[in-house]
Amino acid sequence: MRSLRSRSFERKHKAKRLFNIWFFSKMKRTKILLGVLLFGSISAVPVFYEYKYLESQVRSKLIEAFGDISKTTGLIVREVIVQGRSKTKKSALLQALQVSEGDNILAINMTKMRDRINKLPWVKSARVERHFPSKISLTLVERTPMARWQTNRTLKLIDIHGDVIPRVDLARFSNLPIIIGKNAPKIASQILKTLSNEPHLFRRVKSLTLVSDRRWDVQLDNEINVHLPEKSPGKAWAHLATVEQGRNIFGDKVQGIDMRLENQLIIKIEKNKKSPGKVRGRNT
């Protein structure tokens, strides 16, 4: 009869042997699984590229067949109608369209075409439509130049919304007034509209300077500065136009006209020069 200590030793030895069998079997299974995964990953690479190649081949064949069907049914570009083009160059527009006669009209991405056209300098918005079987129509809304903005010693053309129109020949717009001031472009449309209500006087406007973001100084073509009031500049400008027509107050001796005080028009005479007649500040 075996002793109690001997039976205990056998149980421990048997348990240890069973654990070793289970542990090493698990490690072997793990190695096999990792090997399969690795082999599968390596094998999948050429399969993936083969799939991509087949996909591209199928796509090209479908496009080719699609194009043949379009030509057979007459669904090709034969005409492009453009409306609203005035300042946009024809060459720039053709480059943005990226369409030629005979192209598959169904294959044209109208969204991308519109986005390209909207990036042109003079284009404010564009509407592109496809008219079956063979026509594309394009309607442009172009930006309206308002003035030249002087900033950092350079001039930039701006539209009626105060946005800069890039890549333009400023020499073509030398007739437009110059506006000066950091925030001038965003608020200049209102004052320019006000000044234009007196056309004979507006034609003489050379530049406008925004002062303290509150009011405007207007320089005329004879270098006379008109200081407009913060409130009711239109009323002051209309009064100046009336006075000028009746009295010709823009003489060589005049340096400036101050209208910042309500109901007053003060004429400043250049120093050390005699005024031609009685020219003094007037209460009006």
pLDDT of the residue at 59 = 56
| pLDDT (tens digit per residue) in 167-196 | 999 999 999 999 999 999 999 999 999 999
Crossing angle, helix 110-118 and helix 90-97, to 10 degrees? 150
Is 267 found in the same domain as 164?
yes
Query: Residue 223: what pLDDT?
Result: 92
The per-residue pLDDT for 14 is 61
- Which CATH number does the domain housing residue 187 bear? 3.40.50.11690
Of the residues 108, 126, 142, which one is the last residue of a structural domain? 142
Whole-number pLDDT of residue 250: 87
Enumerate the H helices of 119-231 as residue ranges: 184-195, 199-202
The encoded tokens of residue 176 equal: 């437009």
Residues 175 and 137 in one domain: no
- What pLDDT is stored for residue 249 in this prediction? 87
Q: Do 266 and 151 share a structural domain?
A: yes
**Same domain for 155 and 263?**
yes
Question: Residues 54, 95: one domain?
Answer: no
pLDDT of residue 46: 57
Q: Over the range 32-48, which residues count as b (16 or more CB within 10 Å of their CB) and which as e?
A: eeeeeeeeeeeeeeeee
Q: Looking at the structure, tell me whether residues 177 and 263 fall in a common domain.
A: yes
Residue 240 Cα distances to 77, 236, 265, angstroms: 59, 6, 8
What pLDDT does residue 279 have? 41
Q: 214 and 181 in one domain?
A: yes
Task: Write down how long the chain is.
Answer: 284
Dihedral sign for Cα 226, 227, 233, 238, please.
negative
Candidates 197, 241, 242, 236; CA nearest to 216 is 236
In terms of domains, do 198 and 247 share one?
yes
Could you tell me the two tokens for 13? 């030895």
What number of other Cβ atoms are within 10 A of residue 205's Cβ? Answer: 20
Q: Please check whether residues 19 and 133 belong to one and the same domain.
A: no
Q: How many domains does the chain have?
A: 3
Helix (H) or strand (E) run with residue 276 in it: none
DSSP secondary structure, 64-78, as one string: HHHHHHHHHHT-B--
- Residue 125's CATH number: 3.10.20.310
Same domain, yes or no, for 7 and 47?
yes
Model confidence pLDDT, tens digit, residues 159-170: 999 999 999 999
Domain range holding 264? Answer: 145-283
Tokens 């299974």: give the residue.
Answer: 29
Which of 142, 174, 196 marks a domain boundary? 142
The 10s digit of each residue's pLDDT in 27-52 is 555 544 554 455 555 555 454 455 56
- The residue from 142, 161, 192 where one domain ends is 142
Low-confidence ranges of the chain (pLDDT < 50): 1, 4, 23-24, 31-32, 35-36, 45, 47-48, 275-284
Are residues 210 and 265 located together in one domain of the fold? yes
Residue 67, token pair as written in the block: 């194009």
DSSP secondary-structure letter at 143? Answer: P
Q: How many CB atoms lie within 10 A of CB 76?
A: 19
Beta strands in the chain (DSSP E): 79-83, 123-131, 135-142, 145-151, 154-159, 178-180, 205-211, 215-220, 225-227, 254-258, 264-269, 282-283
User: Are 199 and 188 contained in the same domain?
Assistant: yes
Q: What confidence score (pLDDT) does residue 67 get?
A: 54
